[in-house]
Homo-oligomer: A and B are copies of this chain.
């Protein structure tokens, strides 16, 4: 599905001779979680070095003088989706500060819902903010803390935050990771020989050949120091509410998140969809690549042949511009090619993982039809999205959500499909692990935290990270 963006991916490693290179590979594996900027902070035991840039990971670190500067045996990294231009670099992470003669770097995935309150309070006390990111708040809290140890300082600072966060912190001698008490976003621990690794998804462990150990628990803070890993729990407790959308769309299918394989869940969603919304058709095709697994699940359960009817063009670049694009459906033709030989004369089930605005899907239906499909039955492997996310996903505006104001029949009509069916909320929760411990607020409006009244779009936009 196009239109939804995860805000960040984070990575950390401690005890590896080539810590920054491992972090580089980890960020590369997490590239799908943020493509606008990235950065690595590394520690040699005394000092922290830092490089950040805008663009894809491979381009940011491709100049020959960059990686050698990031020396040392521990490092953290961050991929970020952010707004354009100068602010892109300004808000890139990890953030690094010197304070009271100490150094710390931090990388954040999530969204602090009481960010505006905290920022106002800090500014009233004379703090100067350099970025528009809510991630900077934690560093001001750390700089102002009266606690002695960095563990206590971070613990004290984290308890002031509300909302969704996974953090990795790097000091000259320690790597610290923490996950908010609700456990909104994923964060896991891996090991590679004597080295300890932290990553948003396990695919970042795989690429460096590290073993998956376990998920970091909601509310857990993990401290890695002197080769040892210890664990503390944040005092604050809350009902777990992990993001169900990580299974549906964001995480890579080859990852383990929340201690479960994404591919397996995604296939189950497709199968459940086939149970709930069967279809009399000749072939099943997916909107590539994100709906591939669900489509396979749908095809297997419904015993309809799976085919590759749309091919995704992977050469499209960030600044690809189609001048004067008055051509009908040009933007979708640039990204997808229909395979006429597969589609011609066929009754097609088109499986998509989710629908935000429906704009692209409408063009895709047209494209498939123009290739000769006789009927097009859209099946969506998640329920209708009716409400924004305040916990780190870019579904910021109810007005953009077609399902918040249109009936399913209206959406079907809009996307010009012959039929349309969504997976039910109940069906979805029945196949995701620990269904009642998942946050499904974007489908149900049942938010697990208070949402500040003043959390308007503009503020929301500029304060996510």
Chain A residues with CB under 8 Å of chain B are 18, 21, 24-25, 28-29, 31-32, 35, 56-59, 62, 67, 97-101, 123-130, 139-140, 143-145, 203, 206-209, 252-254, 261, 263-264, 267, 289, 292-293, 296, 300, 305-308, 311, 313-317, 319-324, 327-328, 330, 333-334, 337-342
Contacts and interface: CB of A to CB of B under 8 A. Distances in A.
Contacts of A207: 330, 333-334
A21 B326 CA distance: 12
Contacts of A327: 208-209
A129 B98 contact: yes
Contact of A338 (B99, B127, B254): B254
Contacts of A314: 289, 314
A337 B129 contact: no
B28 A315 contact: yes
A124 B100 contact: yes
Contacts of A24: 323
A206 B339 CA distance: 11
B144 A126 contact: yes
A337 B252 CA distance: 10
The dominant DSSP class at the A interface is mixed
Contacts of A58: 315-317, 319-321
Contact of A126 (B129, B143, B296): B143
A39 to B, nearest CB: 13
Contacts of A296: 306-308
B128 A59 contact: no
Contacts of A203: 337
A333 B206 contact: yes
A305 to B, nearest CB: 7
Nearest to A22: B327
B99 A319 contact: no
A205 to B, nearest CB: 11
A253 B309 CA distance: 10
A320 B28 CA distance: 10
Contact of A315 (B57, B99, B337): B57
